[in-house]
Amino acid sequence: MSDMRIGGLASGLDTDSIVKELMTAERMPLDKMQQDRTWLTWQRDAYREINSLLFDLDSLALNMKLSSTYNNKTVSSSNDSFATATATAAAANGTHTLSNVSVATAAYNISFQGNANTNLGVSGDKTAADYTKVDATKSLWSQKSNFGNSDFADVNGGIWETRTYENKDISVSKAGTNFKLEKGAIDSTSLTSIVVTDSEGVEKTYTVVSGEPSNANEVSLNAGTGELVFGEELTEGSTISGPSYDHYVVSFSIKTYDQKGNVIEDNADESDGYQFEFDGTKSLNQIMSEISNSRVGVSAFYDGFSDKVSFQRKETGDLNVNGQEMEFSGSFLTDVLGMDSSQELNGTNATFTLDGLQTQRTSNSFTISGVSYTLKDNFTGSTTISVENNTEASFEKVKEFVDKYNEIIEKVNGKLTEGRYRDYPPLTDAQKEGMSDKEIELWEERAKSGLLKGDSILSSAMSDLRMAWYSRVETNGAYTHLSEIGIETTANFMAGGKLEIDEAKLKKALSTDPDAVYKLFSNSEEGSSRGLINRVEDSIEKAMGNIESKAGKSTSTLQQYTMGKRLDDLNDRIDNFQDRLVTIENRYWSQFTAMEKAIQQMNSQMSYLMNMFG
C-alpha cells in the first residue's frame, strides 16, 4: 500500500512488522468482502452452467417436435443396382413396383461433330503438316496462331473484340524499371505514351515502343502480357499514371434451359441466354472452368488427347422440347472451338412404370407421395420398393432425449442437495501463499460445494418440468398421458423426477400408431391440447429467463443482472476500503515516525546533559 519505509532507528523497534500486524487486523473486513465477491462469482458461474445444460436440452427438444422423429421410415429395394429410395414421414407404408425403366440422360456436344476437320488446331485452310496442338494452360493470346481458324490468329479477323480499359495508377514502392499493367492482350496502337510523376511532383512523358527502349525517354510494352520496361530507373515514391488503352476480348453466349423449360440467363433479357466475356490473357482451361462454375448449367472441359472441347448439361432430361438443350452464339464458340448446336445429342427424360402407371421425369431422382426414388440403370423387368415404419430409429431418438433430460435432472438435483461447508470460505491471495497447489485444490473443492443448495429458482424449475411431463394432453387420439406409451417416473423418490422407459411398450406405441405418439409430444396450441415437449420447452425457457435475470450471461454487463449489481457494489466497496487502508497505514507510519523523532530528540538532550555533567 505504501513505499518501503525504515523505522526503529531511535527506538530499536521493528516498526515494519508492527505496522504489518496492525494492518492485518485492519484488512479483515476487506478480506471478508473479497471472499464474498469470490463466492458470488462462483455462484453466478454455477447458475450459468445450469443454463448451458438447459440450453442443450432445449436444442434437443426441436427434433422431438418433428413428425419425422416418430414417423421414421425405412425403405428397401429388391434390387439396389436398379433403383433406391428414401421416404419422409408423410409416406404411407406399403410396396411400390418399378418396371420398364429408362434412365434420364444429359445432353452433350463435342467440338467439330460431323466435320472432317476434327481438331481445334486443324481447319479448312490448314493441313495436318501445319497442325500444332493447343496448349490449354497458356493464354488465348499466346495460342491464337495454334487454333485452326486463321481469323483467330488475325486480330482484325472479326473474332477478337476490343474493350477500353482505365488502368489504375501504379505506385512505385521500390525503385526499378519493370512494371506491369492490369490487362494483357493490348492493342498497342491505343497506347502511345505513359506519364510518370516522381516523388517531387515532376511529370515526365515516356514514348511507348514495341522493342527494347533505346533511350531514357522510352518504355517498351509487351502487348501480350502488359509488361512495361522503362528506359531508366523510376525512383521510389513515383506514380505511373493509369493509362487508358484497348485490350482484346472474346465474347459469346450459351442458351440453356432449366427443368421448367425456362431460359437460364444472367440478366433480364433471357432471349440472349447467358453472356460470357474473357480477355486474351485467359487460358482455354480457365474459360472452360468459368463456364462450368457459372449458373448456365453446363460442364465444359478441354481434352488434350483428342484436342477437342466437350460441353454437357448438368441437368438430365429433355428440357427444351423440340429443340437443343444448348444453343451457342459467338464466333469463338462456333468458328474457333467448332461448337455446332445442331450436332447436339439431346438429353432424354427418365421413363418408367410405377404401380402400373407409365410416366416420365426429367431427372433420375424424383419424389412421389413422400417417397424419393433414385433410378440407377435401365431395366425392363421390375423391382419393388417397400416402405415401413422404422420403429427402432424413432425409439432411439426418444430415448436420446429422455437420457439427456435425466442427465440434467441428476445434475441439477445434485446441485440442490450438495452440502455446504461454511468453515471453508474462499481463500485470499495471502492465504494461498502458504499452501501447496494440492491443498488449495482440496480446500476450494469444499469451498465451492453447496453454491446452489436449496436454490428456489432451480427448485421451481424442476417442479415445473415434472408437471409438464405428468399433465394430461387432449390429443383426440389413442394416447393422452406419458405413461400410456411406456414412459413413467422412476419409483425411486430420491431420483427427483427422472424418467424410465418401458422399451417394449414404447416400441409398440411407435409401431402401431406413431401419429398418436407425435400428437402427445408435439402440439404448439395453447391449453390442454399443448404437447408435452412444448410444455417442457415452456418450462425450460422460463427457468433460463429467471436464471439469466439473476446471473446474466457471458455477454452481460454487471448492471444487467441482479448478481452483477451486487458484484458491482462489492467492487466499489472494495476499492473504497483499499483507499481507506492506504490512509490508515500512512497514519500509523506518521505516528511511529513522530515517536522516533521524539525519542531521537530525548536521546540528544540526554547526551547533552551527560556531556555537561562530565
pLDDT for 373-399, tens place per residue?
999 999 999 999 999 988 999 999 999
Tell me, yes or no, whether 507 and 416 share the same domain: yes
pLDDT at residue 88, rounded to an integer: 86
Amino acid in the structure at residue 579: D
Distance in angstroms (rounded) separating the CA atoms of residues 515 and 495:
31
Distance in angstroms (rounded) separating the CA atoms of residues 95 and 388:
9
Which triple of cell numbers denotes residue 581?
487502508
Contact 199, 237 (CB under 8 A): yes
Contact 309, 120 (CB under 8 A): yes
Amino acid in the structure at residue 13: L
Which of 242, 275, 296 marks a domain boundary?
242
Task: Please report whether residue 79 resides in a domain.
Answer: no
Distance in angstroms (rounded) separating the CA atoms of residues 122 and 131:
6
Determine the average pLDDT of the residues in 546-565. 88
Q: Could you read off the pLDDT of 236-274 as tens digits, one per residue?
A: 999 999 999 999 999 999 999 988 888 888 765 556 789
Task: Please report whether residue 509 resides in a domain.
Answer: yes
- pLDDT over 70 percentage in the chain: 93
Question: How high is the mean pLDDT of the chain?
Answer: 88
Which of 556, 582, 601 marks a domain boundary?
556
Q: What is the number of domains present in the chain?
A: 5
pLDDT at residue 1, rounded to an integer: 44
Determine the average pLDDT of the residues in 321-334. 92
Binning pLDDT at 50, 70 and 90, where does residue 322 land? confident
Residues 6+ apart with CB under 8 A from 68: 88, 89
Tell me, yes or no, whether 542 and 574 share the same domain: no
What is the domain extent for residue 414? Answer: 28-68+393-556
Tell me, yes or no, whether 542 and 408 share the same domain: yes
Task: Please report whether residue 153 resides in a domain.
Answer: no
In the chain, what is the greatest distance between 2 CA atoms, to the nearest angstrom? 141
Burial of 356 (0-12, 13-18, 19+ CB in 10 A): exposed
Tell me, yes or no, whether 221 and 266 share the same domain: no
Residue 268's φ and ψ, nearest 5 degrees, are -70, -20
Q: Could you read off the pLDDT of 117-160 as tens digits, one per residue?
A: 567 876 655 565 666 788 999 999 999 988 888 889 888 888 99
Distance in angstroms (rounded) separating the CA atoms of residues 228 and 181:
7
Task: Please report whether residue 3 resides in a domain.
Answer: no
Contact 525, 473 (CB under 8 A): no
User: What is the residue whose three cell numbers read 418408367?
Assistant: 352
Tell me, yes or no, whether 446 and 361 share the same domain: no
For residue 26, pLDDT over 90 is answered with no
DSSP letter at 156 equals T
Which triple of cell numbers denotes residue 38?
469470490
Tell me, yes or no, whether 375 and 419 share the same domain: no
Q: Could you read off the pLDDT of 339-384 as tens digits, one per residue?
A: 999 999 999 999 999 999 999 999 999 999 999 999 999 999 999 9
pLDDT at residue 585, rounded to an integer: 78
DSSP letter at 138 equals S
Binning pLDDT at 50, 70 and 90, where does residue 11 land? low
Which of 334, 367, 388 marks a domain boundary?
388
Distance in angstroms (rounded) separating the CA atoms of residues 184 and 511:
70
In b/e form, how buried is each residue of 1-39, taking b as 16+ CB within 10 angstroms? eeeeeebbebeeeebeeebeeebeebbeebbebbbbbbe
Task: Please report whether residue 158 resides in a domain.
Answer: no
Contact 497, 465 (CB under 8 A): yes
Task: Please report whether residue 126 resides in a domain.
Answer: yes
Determine the average pLDDT of the residues in 18-42. 80
Model pTM above 0.75? no
Give Rg (Cα) of the chain.
Answer: 43
Determine the average pLDDT of the residues in 215-226. 95
Tell me, yes or no, whether 370 and 457 share the same domain: no
For residue 508, pLDDT over 70 is answered with yes
CA–CA distance from 274 to each of 263, 265, 280, 475 (Å)? Answer: 9, 5, 20, 55
Distance in angstroms (rounded) separating the CA atoms of residues 596 and 205:
87
Which triple of cell numbers denotes residue 458?
432451480
pLDDT at residue 132, rounded to an integer: 77
Amino acid in the structure at residue 534: N
Q: At what angle do helices 391-417 and 15-64 cross, to 10 degrees?
A: 150
Tell me, yes or no, whether 407 and 471 share the same domain: yes
Tell me, yes or no, whether 470 and 543 share the same domain: yes
Tell me, yes or no, whether 276 and 295 share the same domain: yes
Task: Please report whether residue 411 resides in a domain.
Answer: yes
Which triple of cell numbers denotes residue 171?
505506385
Tell me, yes or no, whether 23 and 36 share the same domain: no
Residues 6+ apart with CB under 8 A from 114: 340, 343
Task: Please report whether residue 438 resides in a domain.
Answer: yes
Contact 496, 462 (CB under 8 A): yes
Q: Select from 69, 67, 75 the least CA-distant residue to 374.
A: 75
DSSP letter at 430 equals H
Tell me, yes or no, whether 399 and 528 share the same domain: yes
